Structure 1
Amino acid sequence: MQSFGKSRILIVGCGDIGLRIAKQLARSHRVYALTSQKTRFQELRAVGAIPILGDLDKPDSLWRLSGLAQTVIHLAPPQNTGHRDCRTRNLLRILAQGSDTVGRVIYVSTTGVYGDHAGAKVSEVTPVKPQSERAKRRVDAENCLRLWAPAHGVALTILRVPGIYAADRLPVDRIQAGTPALNPAEDAYSNHIQSDDLARLVCAAVYHGKPQRVINACDGGETKMGDYFDEVADAFGLERPPRLPAEQLEKIVSPMLWSFMRESRRVTNTRLAELKTPLRYPSVAEFLKTISKNP
């Protein structure tokens, strides 16, 4: 299909969600996808994207990105250590060299930046309170972008995303393994978004995102984590996970899993209306109705 003259979009961090986004946007835009692996070129081309070889951990490899696209969708996570997101900093340095080209940046962050609120509701105006190093790196990325964008005349939309799920991203293996959940009295609220819904929201932000705006890209549900596991278990005809007190559970689950289980917040999504894209799956329960009970 001829794409000359089309608006150019660069996707940075083109994993599962990035592929879904590229497939949608390639119908009406010239889509580029940054990858550090030549082995992914065929996969990216299959969804209509043009692969660009580069590595966010190697700034000298990013020269092709300068002046490449009018819109940048930044999905790449930070590196795994430290409190600063060096990858975002490297990206912004190269984008600044073509800042007359870039007019919009969409950054997919995490609701983990809010930290633990003991089950209280949080909104986009709630001050960030990151507790894990992972969340602190995300706050650093957000802060870098929020300083950089207005200084370069760029409209920035930050989408804060909770737990992403899909048919192949449900905790079925965890449930089959019999990994316990927290007792109801100590359980934490968890927040979710279905993967296709998230991809649609990112695409909507290309057209409707307000400048310098934060939006919670979640379904607004108020389900506790153990109840979420129970819903999935019931949908697949599995035994529900056993429940344990926090003191016991912390000793047997991974530090990564425990970091999610110890933070409780109910994330509101009233600003989603700005993106003019209703969710297809306003709750996990609605999605589970659509899949087979026999995986």
Structure 2
Amino acid sequence: MTITAFVGLRRALPARFRRPRWLIIGCGDVGLRVQRLASSLTKSALRGRVYALTSSPERLPVLRAASITPLLGNLDQSSSLRRLAGLATHVLHLAPPPGQAADGGVLHHDPRTLALARSLRRGRLPQALVYASTSGVYGDCAGAWVAETRPVAPATARAQRRVHAETVLRRDLGRAGVRVSILRVPGIYAPDREGGTPRARLLRGTAVLQANEDVFTNHIHADDLAQACRLALWRGAAQRIYHASDNTELRMGDYFDLAADLYGLPRPPRWSRHQAQEQLPPLLWSFMGESRRLENRRLRQELRLSLRYPTVVQGLCSGGTV
């Protein structure tokens, strides 16, 4: 049979023989939740085969147990990514940028996403790619409501790396015809997620800002984020930004007070902004120094996501007794 005849035969096959091939980059807690959702789909033609890139041999049994085909590779070693070219029809990019440059210096770009984009361009391009970015790309918005059309203003190197990753994907893959969608994600929580509740912080007695200087914070339950990732792969528009955030409107101190009351723990102490900036670790302070409220209309109307946990009260109580 000639190659032309084979290609024509494949196109004529029933949909069940042309199922999508998913590739998850950075398949941790959220990636595994996405896989559980995908495997529960009633339309078998949408299930497809799921691959995941991992740099840890220890993760292989975990991924296989979740019905995922693991691929050993490292985003920091571009030569290990060659097998990704032409592999997947749909790519979910959940891997964070490196925390610092190879020489230990400050890093303002994301070499991992750049290496991934270059590898994908070597073969047949995927139909769609979804990237989980961060809401930190907006910087401090002084508590204003933030739409997806707001210009980015990253105030930290961590957020600048995310802006670079978004730009690379939209430029190098989006302009080449890949349907690239960006999810800008706030704080992820879930009672069944490691470090996914405020309990440990409350037990340490870490302070929050006093009420008149407090900042607005945004949240998404890990299960709702997984659903947003899945829906964006199928319904996300090309070059489109979505806020993967729930309906909660809380200041950070009120969030921790709420959690403390749910857990029966003491509420955290309240510090002035000056005191917090002087005494808290820089990374923690960077989260407390920015205030914004994310609009999620696109998430609800365009991706048609019905939030399972619309508020943090419902989400924090979802694991049973707190």
TM-score by length of 2: 0.88
Find 1:142's aligned residue among 142, 166, 176.
166
Q: Cα distance, 1:289 vs. partner?
A: 3.6
Q: Partner of 2:13 in structure 1?
A: none
2:112 matches 1:87 = yes
Alignment-derived partner of residue 146 in structure 2: 122
State which structure, 1 or 2, has the greater radius of gyration over its C-alpha atoms.
2
**2:33 maps to 1:20:** yes
- 1: CA distance, partners of 2:186 / 2:30: 13
State the distance in 2 between where 1:132 and 1:11 align.
Answer: 27
Displacement of 1:290: 3.3
- Distance in 1 (CA, whole Å) between partners of 2:320 and 2:83 is 44
Which residue is equivalent to 2:55? 36
- CA deviations over 1:101-147 (Å, ceiling 9, x no partner): 41111011010001001111111000000001000000000111111
Counterpart of 1:235? 262
Q: Secondary structure at the match of 2:129?
A: strand
Deviations 1:234-264 (A, max 9, x none): 1111010010101111222211110000000
Deviations 1:149-190 (A, max 9, x none): 233211011000000000040111110111111001111100
Alpha-carbon offset, residue 25 of structure 1:
2.0
Are the equivalent residues in 1 in contact too, given 2:89–2:128 (CA < 8 A)?
yes
Instruction: Decide whether the 8 Å contact of 1:105 with 1:154 is kept in 2.
Output: yes
The equivalent of 2:71 in structure 1 is 52
Q: Does 1:8 align with 2:8?
A: no
Greater Cα shift, 209-218 or 21-30: 21-30
Contact (CA 8 Å) 1:23, 1:48: kept in 2 or not? Answer: no
Rounded Cα–Cα distance in structure 2 between residues aligned with 1:180 and 1:293: 25
Report the AA paired with residue 114 of structure 2.
Answer: R
| Alpha carbons 1:71, 1:103 under 8 Å: kept | yes
* Distance (whole Å) between structure 2 residues aligned to residue 77 and residue 222 of structure 1: 26
1:255 to 282, 291, 305: 282
**Pairing 1:65–2:84 present:** yes
- Equivalent residue of 1:275, what SS? coil
Matched residue SS, 1:219:
coil
Q: Which moved more, 1:5-14 or 1:50-59?
A: 5-14
**Matched residues in 2 for 1:4 and 1:17: separation?**
28
Q: Deviations over 1:59-113 (max 9, x none)?
A: 0111111111011110000011211100000000000001x34111101101000
Would the alpha carbon gap of residues 289 and 150 (structure 1) be closer, same or farther in structure 2, given more than 3 Å must change? Answer: closer
Residue 43 (structure 2) aligns with: none
Report if the CA contact (8 A) 1:26-1:47 is conserved.
no
- Which residue matches 2:304? 276
1:186 to 1:192, Cα distance in 2 relative to 1, 3 A: same
| Structure 2 SS opposite 1:11 | strand
**Residue in structure 2 matched with residue 286 of structure 1 by the alignment:** 314
Tell me the secondary structure at the aligned position of residue 290 of structure 1.
helix
Matched, 1:160 2:184: yes
Shift of 1:206: 1.7
CA contact (8 A) 2:117 2:173 kept: no
Distance 1:5 1:64 in 2: 20
User: In 2 relative to 1, CA 210–233 (structure 1 residues): closer, same or farther, beyond 3 Å?
Assistant: same
Of the three residues 196, 205, 211, the one matched with 1:184 is 211
Q: How many residues align?
A: 291
Deviations 1:193-233 (A, max 9, x none): 00000001111112211111100110132200000101111
CA distance, structure 1, for counterparts of residue 320 and residue 33 of structure 2: 22
- Mind listing any 5+ residue stretches in structure 2 that lack a counterpart? 1-15, 41-46, 101-106
Q: Distance in 2 between matches of 1:14 and 1:286?
A: 26
The aligned amino acid for 1:25 is A
Offset at residue 293 of structure 1 (A): 4.3
Query: How many angstroms apart in 2 are the aligned matches of 1:50 and 1:186?
Result: 49
- Tell me the amino acid that sits aligned with residue 157 of structure 1: S
Please give the alpha-carbon distance, in whole angstroms, between the structure 2 residues aligned to 1:152 and 1:47.
32
Q: Which runs of 5+ in 1 are unaligned?
A: none
Q: CA deviation at 1:4?
A: 5.8
Q: Where does residue 238 of structure 2 map in the other structure?
A: 211
What is the alpha-carbon distance in structure 1 between the residues aligned to residue 19 and residue 284 of structure 2?
43
Question: 2:221 matched to 1:194?
Answer: yes
